[in-house]
Amino acid sequence: MTRKVHPLAPGSTIGIIGGGQLGRMTALAAGQLGYKCHIYCPDEDSPASQVSAATTIGGYDDVSALRKFGESVDVVTFEFENIPHESVQLLSEYAVVRPGWKSLAVAQDRLVEKEFINTIALTTPFRRVTSPAELEAAAAEIGRPAVLKTARMGYDGKGQVLIAPDCDYAEAWEEMGAEIGILEAFVDLAREISVIVARSPGGGWATYPPVENRHVNHILDTTIAPAVMTPEMAKEAIEIAHAIADGLDLVGLLAVEMFITKSGQLLVNEIAPRPHNSGHWTMDACPTSQFEQFVRAVCGLPLGDVAPHHDAEMKNLIGSAVMGWADLMSDTGARLHLYGKKEVREGRKMGHVNRLYPRGHWK
């Protein structure tokens, strides 16, 4: 039988599916509020496990391990979306699961995600493709260049192939490496932004200001907070994020990535029902970080103050960039956050550094 949390009392245990850096920073925030965290992931010595009270090592489809995990915690949440839906259904028999399955089902499949978002806002033009022949036909419809992506399991540029005018469609399909793909049109892009909102069990809101995101090699490199944009466009972006969270009946945190076209149009790119890389700046520039806010929402607590006391810049430390940690430690203007990952690999997020500036710095 599902347990109820109204709200979850300090001293209770939050179960987190996934052992990466988002789970780690969530667990640290939970500890400050008096909660214990129990991590479930397949990896030994994960970043989240290093700072949590307990860890279960198991596959995401291991029914026996999942059952024991669900019986040992008071609420379950996720630090990433790619969990089998059968596992989520199983866990919901033993503990409250926040966000619920609808949020995960939408966010883990790009086609479902685009179709859902299109009921609320505009997305980039796209086509479902299941073969090189369908890919060629779709490219003729929406134009080239375009981007072919896996429908599921892609992130940080993985599972993505550029469809250029001289593309070999069979080779592109093989490189993408999935049975079902989505072809997305290129956008006449001016900037990319994101909005992070928290929604409580009672429907209460807390919304961080829109931020600008700058990518290198398909990986977020820098976030500028807040984004420099008109109040009208910022209001529209926030309204879109709220509508999507409402449509999902989400309890927790939702990041909504959007494109601003050169003509001034807002297009939703993708969503993530969890803490997001573009919200790391909140750890140092807001009274309530995105991670504390996530814990508050999942546990049914009142949501915290999100009004920034500083403008900020967040810089990811990707791969060997983390080797500059000693210099950053001696830099009094740098707020360094490392993730406890032992192996440095190209393209791997090893940490981030925040820098604070007086309000109005980016204007």
Strand pairing partners for 262?
none
Question: What's the rounded mean pLDDT across residues 277-297?
Answer: 98
User: E-strand spans in the chain?
Assistant: 13-17, 36-41, 54-57, 75-78, 96-97, 126-129, 146-150, 160-163, 181-185, 189-199, 205-207, 211-216, 219-225, 252-261, 266-272, 311-318, 335-338, 349-357
Q: Rounded to 5 degrees, what are φ and ψ at 168?
A: -95, 110
- pLDDT digit string, tens, across residues 240-273: 999 999 999 999 999 999 999 999 999 999 999 9
Residue 61 near residue 88, CB atoms below 8 Å: no
Peptide bond into 7 cis (omega under 30): yes
Task: State residue 207's pLDDT score.
Answer: 98
Task: State residue 1's pLDDT score.
Answer: 45
Order the strands of the 146-150 sheet from edge to edge.
Answer: 126-129, 181-185, 146-150, 160-163
Tell me the three state secondary structure of residue 204. Answer: coil
Name the residue type at position 81.
E
Instruction: Indicate if the pLDDT at residue 363 is higher than 80.
Output: yes
**Alpha carbon separation from 305 to 206, 282, 360, 362 (Å, rounded):** 8, 11, 19, 22
DSSP β-ladder status, 75-78 and 96-97:
parallel
Task: State residue 93's pLDDT score.
Answer: 92
Percent share of the chain, pLDDT over 90: 84
Tokens of 300: 């049914």
Peptide bond into 99 cis (omega under 30): yes
Measured CA to CA, the distance from residue 237 to residue 219 in angstroms comes to 22
Task: State residue 82's pLDDT score.
Answer: 83
Residue 323 near residue 336, CB atoms below 8 Å: no
Tell me the three state secondary structure of residue 195. Answer: strand
Instruction: Indicate if the pLDDT at residue 2 is higher than 80.
Output: no
Closest CA to 81 of 147, 12, 151, 28: 151
Instruction: Indicate if the pLDDT at residue 276 is higher than 80.
Output: yes
User: E-strand spans in 141-236?
Assistant: 146-150, 160-163, 181-185, 189-199, 205-207, 211-216, 219-225
Measured CA to CA, the distance from residue 264 to residue 277 in angstroms comes to 25
Domains and CATH numbers, the chain: 13-97 (3.40.50.20), 125-185 (3.30.1490.20), 189-357 (3.30.470.20)
Instruction: Indicate if the pLDDT at residue 160 is higher than 90.
Output: no
Task: State residue 167's pLDDT score.
Answer: 87
Cα 20 versus chain centre, distance: 12
Question: What's the rounded mean pLDDT across residues 134-149?
Answer: 92
- pLDDT digit string, tens, across residues 64-113: 999 999 999 999 999 998 888 888 889 999 999 999 888 888 998 999 99
- pLDDT digit string, tens, across residues 22-76: 999 999 999 999 999 999 999 999 999 999 999 999 999 999 999 999 999 999 9
Average pLDDT, the chain: 93
Instruction: Indicate if the pLDDT at residue 3 is higher than 80.
Output: no
Question: What's the rounded mean pLDDT across residues 169-180?
Answer: 90
DSSP-assigned states of every residue in 219-275: EEEEEEES----HHHHHHHHHHHHHHHHHHT--EEEEEEEEEETTS-EEEEEEESS-
Residue 35 near residue 299, CB atoms below 8 Å: yes
Instruction: Indicate if the pLDDT at residue 203 is higher than 90.
Output: no
Instruction: Indicate if the pLDDT at residue 301 is higher than 60.
Output: yes
Closest CA to 324 of 305, 344, 308: 344
Strand pairing partners for 253?
198
Query: pTM of the prediction?
Result: 0.94
